Structure 1
Amino acid sequence: MNEQQTVTLRYRMSNRDVFYLGGLINGARNITLLNDTAVRLMAKVFGNTGHCVEVKKIRLYTPSQAGDYMEYIARAKKIEGNRALIEVRAFKVIEVPKNPPFPSSIDVLPEPVLSTVAQFVYETF
């Protein structure tokens, strides 16, 4: 198995993801998408999704808003037998401007902004 394999998931936060006033997204929504990305990596690398047996780390850096385009990148950091340590990072790549001239206006960020980092331990069946 190649430990350098990655999986990328792209997702646009919408009004249905909003949890707080002002269009703010609950951090749990990002964590759910981080886990979804880790599961996809497990399916790609091991041929089955396995199951999460431990959450080693979760760090929330930058909040997400409705309309933000997020990119989730998962990679296996360590593999031992049927266990894998998967790190997933979430980046904000596009955001809605503060005072948009049009409802569909977006700002592509010059550099992706780190939003959330998680480490999961998965075990295959």
Structure 2
Amino acid sequence: MTSALVEGFTVTHRRYVPYSHAHYGGNLVDGAYSLGMFGDVATELCIRTDGDEGLFAGYSSVEFLAPVQAGDVMEATAKLVRIGNRSRGIEFEAHVVCRAAPSRGASSADVLPEPILVTRASGTVVVPVAAE
């Protein structure tokens, strides 16, 4: 185990949402995009806390709270909230921090004054038993 294995430890990733991921009218992106980011940020959290990528066991809750659009910049955070022998409880949040502004031009975008919470979830990952 590493010194990062403490409840409250967080990892955050940022990612641009490309237009190739638009799946619905209005350049909307499906909710699976947030879940993919949660998987990536959980992997880094496990590496930092346990020295292993871990395996995602499942979600206990997922809430899609606001739309994600192509051209957004998203931030996903994983927070370690429970430490078991092999399991780790993680809470996730995804926010949009920048958004395209096509009314001003094809490549225009804005940094949002306040991030928009778009997805919230909680889940469990499993890691190997730590070597002693």
Residue matched to 1:104: 107
In the alignment of these two chains, the number of paired residues is 124
- Of 8, 13, 17 in structure 1, the residue corresponding to residue 17 of structure 2 is 13
Q: How far off its partner does 1:69 sit?
A: 0.6
1:2 to 6, 27, 34: 6
Unaligned stretches of 5+ in structure 1?
none
Q: Is the 8 A contact 2:102 2:109 kept in 1?
A: no
Which stretches of structure 1, 4 residues or more, deviate above 6 A after TM superposition? none
**2-structure distance, mates of 1:46, 1:121:** 14
Question: Which string of whole-angstrom CA distances, capped at 9 and with x for unpartnered residues, describes residues 71-96 of structure 1?
Answer: 00111011111110011100011111
Q: Structure 2-normalised TM-score?
A: 0.88
* Pairing of 1:70-109 with structure 2 (within 5 A): 70-97=74-101, 99=103, 101-109=104-112
Identity %: 31
1:1-57 residue CA offsets vs partner (Å, 9 max, x unmatched): 222221110011111111112211011111111111111111111110111112111
Match of 1:35 in 2: 39
Partner in structure 2 of residue 119 of structure 1: 122
Q: Which amino acid aligns with 1:50?
A: G
Task: Please give the root-mean-square deviation of Cα atoms over the aligned residues, in Å.
Answer: 1.2
